[in-house]
């Protein structure tokens, strides 16, 4: 019996040990389960190389200073522009500098005027440049190389990346907070090692839109669809060389031919930019900005010869074709406080073309002043009927403007009164007629006064209208350049 007992014990121990080995082997087999190759990539794979090129330092944003796609200047940097020295402290100030240059490229490029300066290369190393000639030589070398930075796709950080060891076992999950961190992670991994982006992640595509990526194949499809946009066309700046062109100042003023409607308190128009179209010989720079300070103007404040400045700029001598005004909608405020929004079809994108009544000729020794006359009376079309119970329900807005060279114009002014009582009459409409067509209009103020500026030299008929009175017409009124014609009217009650 004792021998049988020990025999059973030995069998049990053997069975227990065999079972443990089987379990252990099963666990080891589970740990060595192959990784999902649809989610991983190696640094030398096409996708790994693309990820590294996406995370390279983009050196194109400061090309106006270093003209080099594969280097980026470390701020602050001292520059000289338009005869003045200043310090560029950050990217925001750099953007403002580029905007200022684009408004008038004829004034020349800004230049770095203090060396040494520090640059960062596309792989985030630093380079010290001792002189302007060294910077120019470096830029020439850089720009002869293929631009390997992929700009059509950008990671939106943070991005988590899993790393694996030589046994293809998960080693770590690290969080990347910048392109620089992503670049060094991808560069420091061994060629055969695997990594895995922890999807989903968000990226910015070539159109500037955010997009969610959920797999490697999704990322490959995005890169494929944006392949043409990935072919960088970074701006390189070339100084035209030679003498600086002769410049002359062109300035703009804004006025209004008013809307003759007593229920309206304000007509507010948001003007964001005014440009002038260059001639054929300057078509490489099609438009030059004259005014670039978004401002809301109440057009009813700009009547009877009142104007508001719309900026000025220095232009090379020559012919210019037309003005373009960018309008970002507006509103009409009624006397009772009700507000109606005004929408300008494509006004904030393509702008409104304004042909000048005379050629826009910039000549040496002669500064130009142009008047932009915003005819609210023709620009607003009432929706509804102000005389009905339902009243006005809005306005259609189709901006009508004219541009005149003030050097070729005169003005007309006067007083409108009652012929019997000599009472001064407010809100009378004064219209200048050219060949039976309304050229421009004005309204009398509370003192019965009117003044119309920017009238091209010539002979006109002038008509005055006011409810309750017979129209008054004065034919053959002469307007002379640089002079103001005086013309009073006396109205007779109906």
Beta bridge partners of 370: 252, 405
What pLDDT was estimated at residue 346? 63
Spatial contact of 314 and 249, defined as CB atoms under 8 Å apart = yes
Percentage of the chain with pLDDT > 90?
Answer: 38
What's the pLDDT score for residue 247? 72
Confidence check: pLDDT of 98 > 90:
no
**In the predicted structure, residue 373 carries a pLDDT above the cut 80:** yes
365 or 117, higher pLDDT: 117
Supply the pLDDT for residue 32.
38
The pLDDT of 268-289, averaged and rounded, is: 80
Contact 334, 263 (CB under 8 A): yes
pLDDT digits (tens, 9 = 90+) for 126-179: 999 999 999 988 888 887 777 788 888 999 999 999 998 888 888 999 999 999
Percent of the residues in the chain that have a pLDDT greater than 70, as a whole number: 84
Can you tell me the distance from the alpha carbon of 436 to that of 427, in angstroms, rounded to the nearest whole number? Answer: 22
End-to-end CA distance of the chain: 143
User: Mean of the per-residue pLDDT values for the chain?
Assistant: 83
On the question of pLDDT at 14 being above 60, the answer is no
3-state secondary structure string, 280-349?
HHHCCCCEEEEECCCEEEEHHHCCCCCCEEEEEEEEECEEEEEEEEEEEEEEEEECCCCEEEECCCCCCC
Q: Helix, strand or coil for residue 130? A: coil
Q: Which residues pair with 416 in a beta bridge?
A: 489
pLDDT at 26: 40
pTM of the model: 0.56
SS3 439: strand
Q: What is the pLDDT of residue 175?
A: 96
Q: How far apart are CA 410 and CA 340, in angstroms?
A: 36
Reduced to 3 states (helix: H, G, I; strand: E, B; else coil), residue 491 is strand
Residue 73 pLDDT more than 90? yes
Tokens at 165, concatenated? 């060891």
109: alpha, beta or left? (left if phi > 0; alpha if psi -120 to 50) = beta
| pLDDT on residue 229 | 64
CA-to-CA dists, residue 168 to 32, 160, 173, 182, 194, angstroms: 8, 18, 14, 21, 7
Assigned token pair, 479: 């307007």
The answer to whether 317 and 362 are in contact (CB under 8 A) is yes
DSSP state of 378: H
Give the range with max mean pLDDT: 32-36, 97-101, 254-258.
97-101
> What is the predicted pLDDT for the residue at 301?
86
The answer to whether residue 58 scores a pLDDT higher than 50 is yes
pLDDT tens sequence across 392-410: 888 888 888 889 999 989 9
Give the pLDDT of residue 127: 92
pLDDT attached to residue 296:
93
Mean pLDDT, residues 238-250 taken together: 66
* Count of CB atoms situated within 10 Å of the CB of 120: 17
| Digit-coded pLDDT (tens) for 105-117 | 777 889 999 999 9
pLDDT at position 258:
60
Out of 93-102, 281-290, 306-315, 351-360, least confident range: 281-290
Name the nearest CA neighbour of 312 among 263, 367, 361, 261. Answer: 367
Other beta carbons within 10 Å of 41: 22
∠ CA(469), CA(471), CA(473), 5° rounding?
A: 145
Query: How much is the average pLDDT of 242-257?
Result: 72
pLDDT, tens only, 300-342: 888 888 889 988 888 888 888 899 998 888 899 988 888 999 8
pLDDT at 426 over 80: yes
Strands lying side by side in the sheet with 458-465: 437-443, 429-434, 458-465, 472-479
Q: Tell me phi and psi for residue 90, to 5 degrees.
A: -160, 180
pLDDT at 18 over 90: no
Q: What is the mean pLDDT of residues 430-446?
A: 87
């Amino acid at each position: 019996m004792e021998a049988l007992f020990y025999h059973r014990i030995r069998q049990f121990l053997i069975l227990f040990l065999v079972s443990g080995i089987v379990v252990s082997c099963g666990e080891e087999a589970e740990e060595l389960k192959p990784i999902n190759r649809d989610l991983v990539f190696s640094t030398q794979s096409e996708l790994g190389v693309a990820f590294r090129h996406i995370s390279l330092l983009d050196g194109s944003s400061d090309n106006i200073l270093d003209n080099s796609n594969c280097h980026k200047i470390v701020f602050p940097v001292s520059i000289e522009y338009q005869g003045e020295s200043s310090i560029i402290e950050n990217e925001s100030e750099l953007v403002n500098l580029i905007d200022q240059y684009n408004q008038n490229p004829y004034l020349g490029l800004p230049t770095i005027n203090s060396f040494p300066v520090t640059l960062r290369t596309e792989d985030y190393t630093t380079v010290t440049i001792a002189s302007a000639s060294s910077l120019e030589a470096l830029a020439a070398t850089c720009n002869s190389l293929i631009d390997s930075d992929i700009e059509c796709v950008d990671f939106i950080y943070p991005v988590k990346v899993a790393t694996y060891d030589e046994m293809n076992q998960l080693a770590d999950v690290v969080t990347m907070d910048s392109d620089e961190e992503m670049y060094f992670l991808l560069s420091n991994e061994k060629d055969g090692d695997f990594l895995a982006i922890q999807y989903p992640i968000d990226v910015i595509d070539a159109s500037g839109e955010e997009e969610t990526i959920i797999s490697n194949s999704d990322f490959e499809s995005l890169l494929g669809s944006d392949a043409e946009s990935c072919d960088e066309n970074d701006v390189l700046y070339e100084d035209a060389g030679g003498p600086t062109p002769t410049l002359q100042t062109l300035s703009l003023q804004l006025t209004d031919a008013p809307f003759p409607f007593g229920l309206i308190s304000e007509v507010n128009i948001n003007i964001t930019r005014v440009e002038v179209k260059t001639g054929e010989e300057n078509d490489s720079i099609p438009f030059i900005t004259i005014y670039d300070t978004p401002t809301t103007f109440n057009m009813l404040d700009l009547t009877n010869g009142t104007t508001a400045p719309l900026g000025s700029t220095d232009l090379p001598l020559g012919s210019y074709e037309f003005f373009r005004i960018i309008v970002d909608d507006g509103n009409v405020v009624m006397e009772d406080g009700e507000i109606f929004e005004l929408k300008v079809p494509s006004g904030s994108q393509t702008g409104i073309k304004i042909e000048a009544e005379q050629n826009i000729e910039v000549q040496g020794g002669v500064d130009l002043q142009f008047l932009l006359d915003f005819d609210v009376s023709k620009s607003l079309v009432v929706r509804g009927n102000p005389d009905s119970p339902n009243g006005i329900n809005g306005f259609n807005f189709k901006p009508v403007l004219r541009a005149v060279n003030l050097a070729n114009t005169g003005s007309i002014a006067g007083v409108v009164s009652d012929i019997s009582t000599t009472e001064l009459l407010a809100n009378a409409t004064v219209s200048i007629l050219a060949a039976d067509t309304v050229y421009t209009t004005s309204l009398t103020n509370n003192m019965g006064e009117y003044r119309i500026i920017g009238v091209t030299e010539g002979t006109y008929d002038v008509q005055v209208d006011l409810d309750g009175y017979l129209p008054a017409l004065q034919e053959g009124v002469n307007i002379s350049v640089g002079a103001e014609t005086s013309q009073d009217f006396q109205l007779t009650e109906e």
